[in-house]
Amino acid sequence: MVVYAFVRPVELGDEEQIKKLQVKATFETFWTLVWTTYFSELSLQCIILGSALLFILINVPLYLCWISIPGMLVIFTFLLYANYLTDVKRVKKELNNVMQTFTEEDKCGFWVVEAWEEIGKEKEERVEVEMIREEVDRVGIMKIIVTRGLLDRCRRLGVVGTVGLTVKVDHNKKEPPRSVGLLSHLLVLPHLRHRGLAQELLARAMKHALEVRYRALEVFVRGEQEGGVKFLESADWGQVDNKEERILLGVNRRVALYRKAIVSSQCKDDLSYRPE
């Protein structure tokens, strides 16, 4: 099956598809986080404590006290799912005004991958992606589909990938004002990954960063997002910070900050520019 993909700026009407994508992406790493938490030192301590309480306070036979093992898994799953719902609520709130947040300022932007697939070949396991590298909007995509004679043999999949770019809020004032961009919401649907779509989204964001004269781009990646870490490192992004983010009492996850310099002849001529 051939999928035709276009990268274009976000438009009105894309909001609901974008939110659905982001909600799916938030849940993708849920079970990884559950198992990581369950096999942590904290979980072992809770299991031992639970078993002791059952044996001492309730007089449960010792061989039955190990019910605390699956019991602790249920408790951690419930608590982490509650945290997941909080994340979903936050993401939806961020994207409710995606047009206003990402498009009303020149230094910001939001791009999506719109995909069309061949009709009647949806069950084929092998998926080939043909990336059409033209700067177009939704109308321009339709013109290309019609011109190529694809309208009768393809159907629109809709938005299958996203990336956003905003100005980094530099609370420490370590860099020139509004000189660093912050990437967010970088994702592609699982069945279309490893086919160059994320690279195209990143390239479009970096092209815009060059045009608006950012000196660097940064992006936060959570520890359980192993695919995102590998992708950025393969694209020569460097890790510049690493911190712990609390999920539950006693449960933290690693959040890494990756950075890549934006270098051009225009930047080098700018007196405010300092090489990384």
Residue 250: what pLDDT?
73
pLDDT of 184 over the 90 cut: yes
Condensed to tens digits (0 to 9), the pLDDT of residues 151-166 reads 888 999 999 999 999 9
- Find the angle CA(192)-CA(198)-CA(199) to the nearest 5 degrees: 130
Beta carbons of 129 and 192 less than 8 angstroms apart: yes
Return the HEC string of 176-239. Answer: CCCCEEEEEEEEECHHHCCCCHHHHHHHHHHHHHHHCCCCEEEEEEECCCHHHHHHHHHCCCEE
Condensed to tens digits (0 to 9), the pLDDT of residues 88-131 reads 888 888 888 888 889 888 999 999 999 999 887 656 668 889 99
Residue 264: what pLDDT?
54
Residue 37: what pLDDT?
82
Residue 123: what pLDDT?
62
pLDDT of 10 over the 90 cut: yes
Task: Please give the Cα distance from 107 to 72 (Å, whole number).
Answer: 47
Beta carbons of 4 and 107 less than 8 angstroms apart: no
Residue 92 DSSP code: H
Residue 159: what pLDDT?
95
Residue 265: what pLDDT?
44
pTM: 0.84
Distance from chain centroid for Cα 103: 19
Residue 122: what pLDDT?
58
Question: Identity (one letter) of the amino acid at 119?
Answer: I
Q: How confident is the model at residue 249 (pLDDT cuts 50, 70, 90)?
A: confident
Domains parsed from the chain with CATH numbers: 2-34+91-269 (3.40.630.30)
Give me the mean pLDDT over the 83-87 stretch. Answer: 86
